[in-house]
């Protein structure tokens, strides 16, 4: 799925509900009249959601997603997506609204079936869980992995991450005796790379390489593709990758049975195309043009949000390299100069 939401760009979304890994934050309210302090919040470690609540959240998301996709109207699923998926979901809807204001002529309803839920136990808010479902789009052997989050009991569940994996690549999660999953913290030092550092580590790897990530489609081959495209006759490409970790872009992870963790995290990247004197920028697609500000003369800068799902091994694992299992990205803006 490659739907981008410029309307919910990283800069605008950073002010949304804070979304941190397995924290147990509480809200402290001072009662001036009595002079006492009352602490509100969950101290007890409890499941983030019931299985019935998780199933309802997946259904509500799918319904809203289909309405928005059919109408090319971002407002129709604005309350059901956030974070990386919210940004990725929006650009295409905005471009679609420009190019097909009457609705999406290629719309086919998304159906998510055979859903399984990995629901962690944790204290406090925000809370989140992972849904693993089959979809009627893409390869029949693929599984759609969605992270749902909410910041308080008064909020609705929103999908913040999506990755699409081969069924064989979906890891097995650690569970307690009641079947609840085990979250990892943002600063978990028992993992090869602490989850809160994955976004920066991946951005650094894409720029400079190194041995922190296992070779594969989204690592070594991705870097090779960039290097190949960096300089061609009449056209140069520059790439800038940045970490994106605040608010609902914060990483989340569940411990796996091998001692590592499946972690979802976000990065923000720019690709600048610059034409040599006398040459032209390649004609952009209609969707790119719909998201472009300024006039394309000698350069075009594309802005993307990308979410990754990785296997972060435990410190005791023989191979300490992080494996990137999946990456979903979307164009969120463009600027011509």
Q: Is residue 295 part of a domain?
A: yes
Is 332 domain-assigned?
yes
Assigned token pair, 288: 């790119």
Q: Are the beta carbons of 109 and 185 closer than 8 angstroms?
A: no
In a domain, 39, yes or no: yes
Residue 192 lies in a domain: yes
pLDDT digits (tens, 9 = 90+) for 192-230: 999 999 999 999 999 999 999 999 999 999 999 999 999
Find out whether the peptide bond into 107 is cis, omega within 30 degrees of 0. no
Give the pLDDT of residue 42: 59
Binned at pLDDT 50, 70 and 90, residue 21 comes out as very low
- 120: tokens are 């962690």
Cross-strand partners of 141: none
How far apart are the C-alpha atoms of 335 and 243, rounded to whole Å?
21
Structural domain boundaries, residue 78: 6-336
For the residues 157-180, what does the mean pLDDT come to? 97
Report if residue 64 sits inside a domain. Answer: yes
pLDDT above 80: residue 31: no
The residue whose two tokens read 């009249």 is 33
The 10 Å Cβ neighbour count of residue 284 is 17
Phi, psi angles (nearest 5°) of residue 130: -115, 130
Q: Tell me the pLDDT tens digit for each residue of 229-264.
A: 999 999 999 999 999 999 999 999 999 999 999 999
The reply to whether 291 falls in a domain is: yes
Read off the pLDDT band of 43 (50, 70, 90): confident
Rounded to whole angstroms, how far apart are CA atoms 65 and 170?
24
d(CA 238, CA 112): 38
Predicted TM-score of the model (pTM): 0.87
CA dihedral 137, 160, 45, 178 (to 10 degrees): 0
Confidence of residue 44 (pLDDT cuts 50, 70, 90): confident
CA 50 to chain centre: 23
Instruction: Confirm whether 17 is domain-assigned.
Output: yes
Contact 237, 273 (CB under 8 A): yes
Q: Region 280-285: what's the mean pLDDT?
A: 94
Question: Taking Cα atoms as reference points, which of 305, 307, 203 lies closest to residue 265?
Answer: 307
Does residue 290 have a pLDDT over 70?
yes
Lowest mean pLDDT among 3-7, 56-60, 98-102, 240-244: 3-7
- Given a cut of 60, is residue 6 above it in pLDDT? no
Q: How many domains does the chain have?
A: 1
- Please report whether residue 1 resides in a domain: no
The answer to whether 149 and 125 have CB atoms below 8 angstroms apart is: no
pLDDT of residue 35: 38
Residue 300 in contact with residue 136, Cβ under 8 Å?
no
pLDDT mean across residues, the chain:
89
* Structure token digits, residue 241: 């990758």
Helix pair angle (51-71, 83-99), 10° resolution: 20
Question: Are the C-beta atoms of 155 and 19 separated by less than 8 Å?
Answer: no
- Residue position matching structure tokens 């997603």: 65
User: In the prediction, which pLDDT does 17 show?
Assistant: 37
| Coil vs helix vs strand at 133 | strand
């Amino acid at each position: 799925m490659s739907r981008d939401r410029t309307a919910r760009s990283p800069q605008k979304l950073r002010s949304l509900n804070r979304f941190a890994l397995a924290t147990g934050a509480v809200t402290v309210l001072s009662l001036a009249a009595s002079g006492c302090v009352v602490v509100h919040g969950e101290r007890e470690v409890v499941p983030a959601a019931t299985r019935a609540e998780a199933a309802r959240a997946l259904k509500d998301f799918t319904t809203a997603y289909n309405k928005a996709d059919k109408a090319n109207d971002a407002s129709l699923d604005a309350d059901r997506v956030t974070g990386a998926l919210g940004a990725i979901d929006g650009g295409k809807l905005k471009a679609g609204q420009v190019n097909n204001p009457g609705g999406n002529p290629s719309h086919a309803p998304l159906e998510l079936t055979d859903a399984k839920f990995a629901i962690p136990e944790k204290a406090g808010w925000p809370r989140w869980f992972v849904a693993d479902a089959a979809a009627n789009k893409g390869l029949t052997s693929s599984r759609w992995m969605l992270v749902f989050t909410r910041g308080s009991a008064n909020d609705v569940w929103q999908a913040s991450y999506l990755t699409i994996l081969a069924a064989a690549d979906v890891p097995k999660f650690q569970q307690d005796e009641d079947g609840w999953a085990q979250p990892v913290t943002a600063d978990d030092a028992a993992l090869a790379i602490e989850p809160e550092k994955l976004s920066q580590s991946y951005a650094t790897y894409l720029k400079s390489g190194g041995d922190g990530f296992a070779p594969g489609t989204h690592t070594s081959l991705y870097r090779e593709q960039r290097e190949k495209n960096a300089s061609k006759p009449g056209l140069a490409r520059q790439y800038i990758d940045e970490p994106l970790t605040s608010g609902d872009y914060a990483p989340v992870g569940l411990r796996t049975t091998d001692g590592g963790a499946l972690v979802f995290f976000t990065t923000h990247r720019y690709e600048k195309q610059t034409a040599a004197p006398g040459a032209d920028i390649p004609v952009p697609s209609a969707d790119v043009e719909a998201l472009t500000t300024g006039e394309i003369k000698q350069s075009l800068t594309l802005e993307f949000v990308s979410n990754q799902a990785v296997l972060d091994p435990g410190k005791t694992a023989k191979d300490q390299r992080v494996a990137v299992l999946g990456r979903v990205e979307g164009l969120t803006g463009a600027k011509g100069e």
